[in-house]
Amino acid sequence: MGSDEGAFGFGLKPKSRKVSLLSADHLLTLEELDRSELLGLLQLAAEVKKSPKQFHRSLAGRTLGMIFAKPSTRTRVSFEAGMNQLGGSGVYLSSKDLQLGRGETISDTSKVLSRYVDAVMIRTFAHSDVEELAAASDVPVINGLTDDWHPCQILADLLTICEVVAPDEIISKDGGVDAIAEKLADVKLAYIGDGNNMANSLMVGAGIVGIEMAVAAPSGFQVDKKLAARIEKNYGSKVTLTDDPILAVKGADFIYTDVWASMGQEEEHAKRVEVFAGFQVNEKLVKATGKKNTKVLHCLPAHRGEEISAGIMDADDALVWDQAENRLHAQKALLLALILKDVILR
């Protein structure tokens, strides 16, 4: 690459600067990132979204290994399409494609894959498997989802929120990340439903960028109080835990929900529908915020009529399709930052 070429393979402009965006080698929970790194990553995602052609050869010749113990629509398509759009390629690996079921250790698998690919994304059940994979890997490992965490979804969610409350700041470098942080400091996000991996990751992501958060879940399905306390201590962001959805959404700018029975919990579905009956995000709950323009978020897939009403799902204030699209842009930014390390910011 000539001296006039940047890390992405296109000419540097006079005001461009090449920086190392992330200090972490892997993305497992989001807690690897500080506020500046996370907001910088979101700015890169906005730039990738705005000017995709500038990045279309950035990962030429690079390969992403994609391990799926849990199937997915959005995770597979967004990562595979993202690599293709950046000039690279993705290799899909189901549980049947690997030797893990025949006794090969996760560590050994990781060492082998490190010789073949430039990064690994894994979507699986136990978070300890992702940690073991990363510990033995010589290339970046990305957590595509575990039973405990879903960091990639949160990148898309935060990008979506920034596009609403800081549309100018997210695409401008003039004020740096501080300008975005100032806008996010006035935001309240309410999560209604199961205290699952989405709730965990949302609390962490919101905490890092300074968003106030409330989580409403029925008794026995709430998030870990120790995690909430750690977030408040580490980031100074307010976290409220309650079993009252009305209390949680009061003053909320965004309401978030997820399915009541996640993958692997199908046998509990009937019971969970009874327990979560009062936790549906519907017109009444949105009105209880006391705000006129509260936006609704859902990571999908959605069970209309259960955790979210069909009317709210299809309402203009629902941002679910923007969230889904932003998985693509946020993960492209993540791949650039982890694989290339040095990235260009304008």
- Tell me where in the chain the CATH 3.40.50.1370 domain(s) lie: 17-149+327-345, 153-324
Residue 17 confidence (pLDDT)? 55
Give the model confidence (pLDDT) of 172-193 as tens digits.
877 789 999 999 999 999 999 9
Q: Are 83 and 58 in contact (CB under 8 A)?
A: no
Residue 343 DSSP SS3: strand
For residue 11, pLDDT beyond 80: no
Q: Which pLDDT band holds residue 311 (cuts at 50, 70, 90)?
A: very high
Q: Are 205 and 158 in contact (CB under 8 A)?
A: yes
Residue 14 confidence (pLDDT)? 43
User: CB neighbours of 207 closer than 8 A, spacing ≥ 6?
Assistant: 213, 231, 232, 234, 235, 237, 239
For residue 9, pLDDT beyond 50: no
Give the model confidence (pLDDT) of 107-134 as tens digits.
999 999 999 999 999 999 999 999 999 9
The helix, strand and coil proportions of the chain, stated in percent and rounded to the nearest 5, come to 45, 15, 40
For residue 1, pLDDT beyond 80: no
User: For the chain, what is the mean pLDDT?
Assistant: 92
Residue 283 confidence (pLDDT)? 98
For the beta carbon of residue 123, count every other beta carbon within 10 angstroms.
22
Residue 21 confidence (pLDDT)? 82
> What torsion do the CA atoms of 158, 151, 212, 274 make, to the nearest 10 degrees?
110
* CATH 3.40.50.1370 correct for 153-324: yes
Report, as an integer, the average pLDDT of 323-337.
98
Q: What percent of the chain has pLDDT over 90?
A: 85
Q: CATH fold of 17-149+327-345, please?
A: Rossmann fold (3.40.50)
Strand partners, 256: 191, 297
Catalytic site residues? Answer: 123, 150, 153, 258, 299, 327
Strand partners, 11: 5
190 phi and psi angles, rounded to 5 deg: -115, 130
Residue 20 confidence (pLDDT)? 67
